[in-house]
Structure formats: C-alpha cells, structure tokens
Amino acid sequence: MSRTLASFFGLLLLSALFVVFHHVHAADDIHGGWSEDDMRSMRGLRLSVEGIADKNRSNELLRRDDAIELGRLLFHDPGMSGSGQVACSTCHRPENGYQDTEFMTFRLDPEARHRAPGLLGVALQDWFFWDGRADSLWSQALAVIENPAEHASSRLQAVRHLCARYSESFPALLRDCLRIDLPGAPVHASPLAAEENWRRLSAAQREGIDKLFVILGKSIAAFEAGRLLPGVSRFDLYVDAIAAGDSAAAAAILSEKEAAGLKLFLDAQVGCVNCHNGPMFSNSGFFVVATDTPGQPEHDRRRGIEILLDSEFNCLKWSEPENCPKLLYIKKDEAETTGAYKVPSLRNLRHAPAFMHDGRFKNLEAVIEHYQNPATLPLRHVDIRPAALFPHQREQLLSFLNVLGTEAASK
C-alpha cells in the first residue's frame, strides 16, 4: 500500500472516530448532565398510579369488578340525563383522551365558564373541578347529574333509571332498589333540582334514594379509577433510562431539543415544576396565575370552597372527621384563593382543544407566551413571575410539553 493511501485511510479513521466521539460527547452533555436535584424531580414526575387506592379511600367499591362495569355502562348512558340525550361521554370523548374536543360544554350551556378537562389519571387528584368544589371523585359525579348545564336531571330520576335498567344485572350492588317504594312519586325530586318534590317524600324514601345515588357515584368513580389511566409517555421512559445510567438509550428517547426543554421545565428560576410536580405534573394545589377576568365574578377557588363546605356529599358530612384532613385544614386565605384555579395535569394534552379553566388559549404556544408575560393586576396576589425565556428556549419548552402528550410506542 502506498504511503499516501495509508495516510488517507488513517485520516478517514480519525475523522470517523471524531464523529463518533463528538456525537457521544454531545449526547453526554444533555442526556448525561443531570444533577441530583434534577434526578429527584424527575423521579417524582415519573408516572405511577400507586396513589389511587389511598386517594379514593372513601370509595369502598373501588376495586369491585361489578362496580367498575356498572360505572362504565353509566358513563356512556344518556338515560340518566334530563333530556335522555347527554352521557358523560358526550363531553368527555373516550377516543380523545376524554377531552371535550367538540366544546360540547359551551354548546349545551352558553353561560358555562369552565372547560371540561381530560379524565385520564383523574383518580390521582385530591380535588375535582377547576375550583375544587368536590373533594372526592364519587361526589363529583353526583354534582354533574344535578347540574342544569350538564345532565340536568335529579337524583330521583337518576336512581329510578339506575334501578329500572341495572338492578337485575347488578343484584349485589343494587339490592336496595327492591326496598325503595316510589309509587306516585314525581319524575324529579332533589334538594337541589326539585326541592318542593323532595320535601314531600318521606324521610325513609329520601334516605333510600340518597343511598342508591351514592352507589351510582361510587360506581362511576370506580370505573374512572380502574380504567381511565394515563399511558406511559416518552418522558417516563427517559427517566427510566437516565436512572439506569444509560445516556445512549436516553438519547434515543428524547431529542436534544426536548431534553433541553425538560431542563428548563425543572429549572427553579423558570418555576414550572414548583406547581406542576408529582406523577400527574400537578401538586394538587390552587394558584393564581393571572387568568382571572377583571370585572367578572370569578368561579375560582374562593367560591369553590364555599360550595364544597355546603355540599351534602362532602367528606365531613359523609364520613368521620378523622378521614377528612383535607377538608378540616383547607386553606381559605382570601387573597390566595381569589383568582386561584387548580393546577392541572400536563399529561395527555394532545387532544385538548384549548387551555386554562376557561379555554382562553387555543394552543400551547399561547400558554408559554402567557407565562413569559403574565398580565397581572395591580395590588392583586399572584403566584408567578415572568419566565424570562429566549425565543429558542420557549421552543424547547414547547417541544418538551408535547412529549407529555404522547404515549410511548412500546405501550
């Protein structure tokens, strides 16, 4: 071999080595450079559904197969609604992550103030609705049925339908249907939706109806807790790869841009993770992020607490006080709850048709723009400060949020 040819191959080898080394090294920079603090935060964000049993302690039907099946049927059943036309799935569309992609909420009720969130992983929450006016998943379902803007029904109509349609197929759950005796009772009766009629029923009838109404709510909640679970996202696989010290595998899961977005998300200065933490990217708290509408009465946490404390199905009214620490020690400070909304999950947002409690933003770019430059009101308490990101960083953050909306291919 001539000397020139040999040095040519030598050079080729060197440059090939350089390329390989450079590539591995660059991957190391992003995918291998996580601090102990970052790792702790990432492990906290890794998907886990272990908390469900604990958070739904007040639902003794949680793991029962018959309750899960009954709940599934009820979720898709329009027969409980006042019009006979509206099921839970009319708004929470199963094929779209249980999001309200058609804006049914606003079509059915032009006065509606809140958009319907997706329901995957909902059983991992502490509070329900954007203002947290329900403290259990099962009492949340009961509120829907008697809400004129949703099912527009009453507990009597719902229970009558429950017994007529399901008591034969679910005898163990619905035994009490045989005991309630309602000849001559009106179509609707409820202390909320048809009070006059409710008062005319006997105490035994009211008690029987309430008991079955609660079974209805607990069955729906058992279905949600057992079946509406988020899938593992590419983020979760990434955390596993990093925790295993395998930065080459990690580099195959997230691009450098997505990983840079994750880094920003975890950055204390940027602040996202201060509120969006835990396996659903929510700390279960209520915060003011400058999304109130000046001059309009707010359907915010302050109002949510009033409704919750009044609710006949809240934990304190339906259980022993020692089971209700959340409610006993509820944070009521007016300055902090005015204009405050629940920190939503950031998982599975890919079908979300709009963002924030009122759907004011149509895409995630607009959400990031808001955090960059929140329109704060003078003299009002607010829990965020401008994020101060360069344009390329905003893009990185956006690409990371999109990672959470994807399910990993392997699942």
Which positions touch ligand HEC (CB under 6 A)? 75, 86, 88, 90-92, 100, 104-105, 108, 114-117, 119, 122, 125, 128-130, 140-141, 144-145, 150, 220, 270-272, 274-276, 287, 289, 291, 341, 343-344, 346, 349, 352, 355-357, 364, 367, 371, 383-384, 387, 397, 401
Q: Least distance in Å: CB of 245 to ligand HEC?
A: 28
Q: What phi and psi, each to the nearest 5 degrees, are found at residue 303?
A: -70, -35
Q: Least distance in Å: CB of 377 to ligand HEC?
A: 14
Q: Looking at beta carbons only, is 316 or 356 nearer to ligand HEC?
A: 356
Contact in structure between 166 and 67 (CB atoms under 8 Å): no
Collapse the DSSP code of 392 into the 3-class scheme (helix H, G, I; strand E, B; otherwise coil) and give the result: helix
Q: Looking at beta carbons only, is 92 or 251 nearer to ligand HEC?
A: 92
Contact in structure between 138 and 123 (CB atoms under 8 Å): no
Q: Looking at beta carbons only, is 198 or 371 nearer to ligand HEC?
A: 371
Taking the C-alpha atoms of residue 332 and residue 19, their distance in angstroms, rounded to an integer, is 59
Q: Least distance in Å: CB of 120 to ligand HEC?
A: 10
C-alpha triplet 28, 259, 18: angle, nearest 5°? 30
Q: Least distance in Å: CB of 345 to ligand HEC?
A: 7
Q: Least distance in Å: CB of 19 to ligand HEC?
A: 35
Give alpha helix (H) positions in 175-233.
195-200, 203-227
Taking the C-alpha atoms of residue 64 and residue 75, their distance in angstroms, rounded to an integer, is 16
With CA atoms as reference, report the closest residue to 300 among 140, 130, 170: 130
Helix axes 234-243, 256-266, angle to 10 degrees: 80
Q: Least distance in Å: CB of 81 to ligand HEC?
A: 7
Q: Looking at beta carbons only, is 79 or 271 nearer to ligand HEC?
A: 271
Q: Looking at beta carbons only, is 137 or 251 nearer to ligand HEC?
A: 137
What value does the CA radius of gyration of the chain take, rounded to a whole number of Å? 26
Q: Looking at beta carbons only, is 123 or 251 nearer to ligand HEC?
A: 123
Q: End-to-end alpha-carbon separation of the chain, Å?
A: 54
Q: Provide the token pair at 348.
A: 């599975």
Q: Least distance in Å: CB of 411 to ligand HEC?
A: 22
Q: Least distance in Å: CB of 50 to ligand HEC?
A: 19
Q: Least distance in Å: CB of 30 to ligand HEC?
A: 19
Buried b (16+ CB within 10 A) or exposed e, 134-162: bbbbbbbbbbbbbeeebbbbbbbbbbbbb
Contact in structure between 296 and 114 (CB atoms under 8 Å): no
Cβ neighbors of 256 (< 8 A, separation 6 or more) are 26, 27, 30
Q: Looking at beta carbons only, is 42 or 397 nearer to ligand HEC?
A: 397
Taking the C-alpha atoms of residue 196 and residue 192, their distance in angstroms, rounded to an integer, is 10
Tell whether the torsion through CA atoms of 280, 285, 286 and 288 is positive or negative.
negative
Taking the C-alpha atoms of residue 26 and residue 44, their distance in angstroms, rounded to an integer, is 26
Q: Looking at beta carbons only, is 125 or 247 nearer to ligand HEC?
A: 125
Q: Looking at beta carbons only, is 225 or 251 nearer to ligand HEC?
A: 225
Q: Least distance in Å: CB of 358 to ligand HEC?
A: 7
Taking the C-alpha atoms of residue 125 and residue 343, their distance in angstroms, rounded to an integer, is 10
Q: Looking at beta carbons only, is 145 or 251 nearer to ligand HEC?
A: 145
